[in-house]
Amino acid sequence: MSFFHELAGQYIDGEWRTGTGSWDIIDFNPYNGEKLAAITIATVDEVDSAYRAAARAQGDWATTSPYERRRVLERALRITEELSQDIVEAIIDELGGTWAKARYEMAAAQAFLREAAHQALHPEGRILPAAVDGKENRLYRLPVGVIGVISPFNFPFLVTMKAVAPALALGNAVVIKPNQSAPVVGGGLIARIFEEAGLPAGLLNVVVTDIAEIGDAFIEHPVPKVISFAGSDRVGRHVAATAGGLFKRTILELSGNSALVVLKDADIDYAVDAAVFSRFVYQGQVCMAANRILVDRAVAAEFTEKFTARVAALRAGDPRDPATQIGPVISAFQAEALTALVDQALAEGATALVRGRTRGNVVEPTVLTGLPDTSPLLTQEIFGPVALLITFDGEEEAVRMVNDSPYGLSGAVHTADAERGVRFAHRIDSGMFHVNDATVQDDPLAAFGGEKNSGNGRLNGEATVEAFTTQKWISVQYGRSVFPL
């Protein structure tokens, strides 16, 4: 299927449209620069049309049998399974993902779709005790209405699907604003899947646009009750401030500065495997990636030798080549920024144990050590294949170093004593932490989200039900109340 030819446009009220803006967003292959599509941007009027269509359709959808909503989700899952190979290739071409990354994203999105189909039946009402004789308190869980989803470029099919699918399953309507670097995989493709699954028109809309054209109209529009955003903390802070002033609920999945900690009793070979994956999966363009790799000084020499050997052997290049492990970063701007970041670290006194070259948008892996304690790299998100290797003396210092960050998304610790790892995890200020595993984790049932500058709110499982529904109290008085006036 030619996704980039067929799905490069706006999808509003069940119709594929050309935007009416005055300029085009050009969708490029980040590896070879090939032009995949040109999409004329949506204007404020089209954002309004999308939200109005969603609002019109949502009322009937909310009263549709949850079993029927589940059937639509199940059909969507079957369609993704039938199109799996085409979707994987689209992820490679639009995002520069390797085959391994694309297949992982595809499989994870299917898992979330499968769980969303079950979530259609999750909301339950309750009968609560009443303090007044003859009264019955009923608590209903209802869809919130319309949800605006702003999705990222790095895992656009997965991250968008994990918000859109349960939102629809729970009786809501959705408008997606995909990232400009992933307008098809994170937007049009998802619309086509649900269109073919029989989702009624208007319930899912896609507007491909830019804030230079619409400003804050996507957030400020009166229709959406919830804004789900995944991206940087800088933009997330603006989303939160704008939506909060309008009493809109936000679900924010933001930046990270995760640490993978290797205690002196760890399985070093296994910890190296986890660290390589945690830092370099999808070129390190992952919010949960292990920016910092902290190693107890007692095992630092062994770990460093094995880790740097593994990193130096990673193959960077064409993501279409099945042997490639490191593909391109998303843009020339990002490639240049990462190169400048490494140069800055070296100027500050860091040492490059592995120094990768930059070839076009392909940034080969780099491992830095010896950064001064005042280096800004230690506390910022590095969205690329650059690892910081840091030694510590004992568990107390490790805890302090992990928490010395404005972010608190994910992390991991490696130790021979799993319960020691759990105790360590409890001391870390983060939304997620993993014992003897990678920092990059997601699961349809486990609450996903961060603390501090890494966002607020949670998705997945029951957390998603909480995020995309609201509660309504209806009381019934059987008999007569006695009023004080």
Q: Is 413 part of any domain?
A: yes
Cα separation, 470 vs 448, in Å, equals 19
Check 287, 364, 381, 395 and give the catalytic one: 287
Asked, for residue 203, whether it belongs to a domain, the answer is yes
Distance CA 68, CA 33 (A): 43
| Residue pair 142/171 in contact by the 8 Å Cβ criterion | yes
Number of domains in the chain: 2
- Classify residue 210: in a domain, yes or no: yes
Q: Is 442 part of a structural domain of the chain?
A: no
120/29 Cα distance (integer angstroms): 37
Catalytic residue, candidates 46, 105, 253, 395: 253
As a whole number of angstroms, the distance between CA 278 and CA 27 comes to 28
Per-residue model confidence (pLDDT) at position 467: 97
- Give yes or no: residues 137 and 155 share one domain: yes
Q: Do both 208 and 226 map to the same domain?
A: yes
- Give 273-330 as a DSSP string: HHHHHHHHGGGG--TTSEEEEEEEGGGHHHHHHHHHHHHHT--BS-TTSTT-SB---S
- The helix/strand/coil state of 40 is strand
- Summarize pLDDT for 402-434 with one digit per residue, the tens: 999 999 999 999 999 999 999 999 999 999 999
Q: Are residues 169 and 264 in the same domain?
A: no
The CATH number covering residue 279 comes to: 3.40.309.10
Mean pLDDT of the chain, nearest integer: 97
My answer on whether 340 and 464 are in the same domain is no
Structure tokens at 383: 């969205």
Residue 82, C-beta contacts closer than 8 angstroms, at least 6 positions apart? none
Pair of tokens at residue 303: 């770990």
- In the residue annotation, 287 being an active-site residue is answered as yes
Mean of the pLDDT values across residues 1-23? 92
Residues 353 and 380 occupy one common structural domain? yes
Q: Are residues 45 and 66 part of one domain?
A: yes
Give domain status of residue 483, yes or no. Answer: no
Q: Are residues 71 and 205 in the same domain?
A: yes
Q: 365 and 462: one domain?
A: no
pLDDT at res. 136 = 96
pLDDT digits (tens, 9 = 90+) for 298-307: 999 999 999 9
46 is catalytic: no
CA distance readout (Å), 343 to 90, 339, 367, 420, 483: 33, 6, 12, 38, 75
Q: What is the CATH number of the domain that holds 249?
A: 3.40.605.10
Please check whether residue 447 lies inside any domain of the structure.
Answer: no
Q: How confident is the model at residue 124 (pLDDT cuts 50, 70, 90)?
A: confident
> Does pTM surpass 0.85?
yes
Which domain does 302 fall in, by range?
A: 258-435
What is the model's pLDDT at position 88? 97
Q: Please say whether the beta carbons of 336 and 357 come within 8 A.
A: no
Q: Are 408 and 355 in the same domain?
A: yes
Q: State the amino acid at position 387 in one-letter form.
A: A
Identify the CA nearest to 1 among candidates 67, 70, 89, 81. Answer: 89
Spatial CA neighbour of 281 closest among 402, 381, 154, 158: 154
Is residue 246 located within the same domain as residue 167?
Answer: yes
Alpha carbon distance 313, 156 (integer Å): 29
Domain assignment present for 46: yes
User: Looking at the structure, do residues 187 and 317 belong to the same domain, yes or no?
Assistant: no
Q: Are residues 468 and 403 in the same domain?
A: no
Q: Does 1 have pLDDT greater than 60?
A: no
191 in any annotated domain = yes
pLDDT > 90: percent of the chain? 97
Distance CA 458, CA 467 (A): 7
- Coil vs helix vs strand at 162: helix
